């Protein structure tokens, strides 16, 4: 857990008082590498200069909005992201999650709930033991610590959901992992209804890990059950 507590977190909000409050909450829980930004510009500058492990993003920002910022961050980072917003309408929540964000928390929120969600997301994304952070799928090297796949053509970054799913499959390699278990790992308790999203994420994973994505030999579909990761490190 201490390794997870050392992860860098970037909090983006245009309210200085809220930034200070979140920073103090996280400090009190043992997180010490907290960065704050009050605008999209500041957030992007920090993300380009620091290996941020988790983004907490407000939606209403002075030079744009959190949705736009999230899409810009995705160009430079695969780290998971959580929206923190006073906008609790279903369409806003669905838009945030539909973009690929990992969680959506409506203000005002309980400090304890925020901490629990952050810890759960960090565990899901980065929680493997040190000896289980690299494996090979054929000639392709999958680095779970750095969220990347190395091929003969170069390095391919893994996005946050892809990283969570491949970790879950790797932890259970050569065994079937059910659709529900994979959705739970990637989307938490609100996993119901994400079956189509799971299929999309698995397709993207295959494009990065498989030599022939349309004829996979490593991420195998177990019809009616889920998926299985096989023939790795051979």
Same-domain pairing of 88 and 111? yes
Same-domain pairing of 135 and 224? yes
In a domain, 145, yes or no: yes
Residue partners of 101: CB distance under 8 A and separation at least 6: 57, 70, 81, 82, 83
Same-domain pairing of 113 and 207? no
Class of residue 151 by CB neighbours under 10 A (exposed 0-12, middle 13-18, buried 19+): middle
Same-domain pairing of 76 and 140? no
pLDDT of residue 134: 87
pLDDT of residue 106: 86
Same-domain pairing of 138 and 180? yes
Same-domain pairing of 107 and 15? yes
The torsion angles phi and psi of 207, rounded to 5 degrees, stand at: -65, -25
pLDDT of residue 189: 65
pLDDT of residue 15: 93
Residue-range definition of the domain harbouring residue 183: 130-229
In a domain, 234, yes or no: no
The torsion angles phi and psi of 219, rounded to 5 degrees, stand at: -100, 100
CA distance 214 to 206: 8
pLDDT one-digit tens code per residue, 111-125: 999 999 898 888 888
> What CATH code is carried by the domain that includes residue 71?
3.40.50.2300
Same-domain pairing of 67 and 119? yes
Instruction: From 212, 209, 215, 205, select the one nearest 232 (Cα to Cα).
Output: 209
Tokens representing 180 are 């529900």
pLDDT of residue 160: 87
Class of residue 153 by CB neighbours under 10 A (exposed 0-12, middle 13-18, buried 19+): exposed
pLDDT one-digit tens code per residue, 45-57: 999 999 899 999 9
Split into its structural domains, the chain has a count of: 2
Which residue ranges of the chain lie beneath pLDDT 50? none
């Amino acid at each position: 857990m201490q390794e997870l507590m050392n992860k860098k977190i970037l909090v983006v909000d245009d309210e200085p008082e809220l930034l200070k409050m979140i920073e103090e909450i996280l400090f009190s829980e043992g997180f010490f590498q907290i960065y704050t930004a009050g605008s999209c510009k500041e957030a992007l500058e920090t993300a380009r200069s620091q290996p941020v492990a988790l983004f907490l993003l407000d939606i209403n920002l002075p030079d744009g909005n959190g949705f736009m910022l999230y899409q810009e961050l995705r160009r430079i980072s695969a780290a998971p992201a959580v929206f923190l917003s006073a906008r609790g309408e279903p369409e806003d929540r669905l838009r945030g999650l539909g973009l690929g964000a990992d969680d959506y928390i409506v203000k005002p929120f309980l400090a304890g709930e925020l901490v629990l969600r952050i810890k759960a997301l960090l565990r899901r994304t980065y929680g493997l033991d040190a000896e289980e952070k690299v494996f090979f799928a054929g000639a392709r090297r999958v680095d779970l610590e750095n969220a990347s796949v190395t091929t003969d053509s170069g390095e391919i970054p893994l996005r946050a959901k892809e990283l969570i799913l491949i970790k879950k499959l790797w932890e259970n390699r050569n065994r079937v992992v059910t659709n529900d278990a994979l959705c739970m790992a990637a989307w938490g308790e609100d996993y119901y209804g994400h079956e189509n999203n799971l299929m999309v994420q698995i397709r993207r994973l295959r494009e990065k890990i498989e030599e022939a994505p349309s004829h996979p030999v490593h991420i195998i579909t177990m019809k009616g059950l889920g998926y299985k990761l096989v023939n790795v490190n051979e």
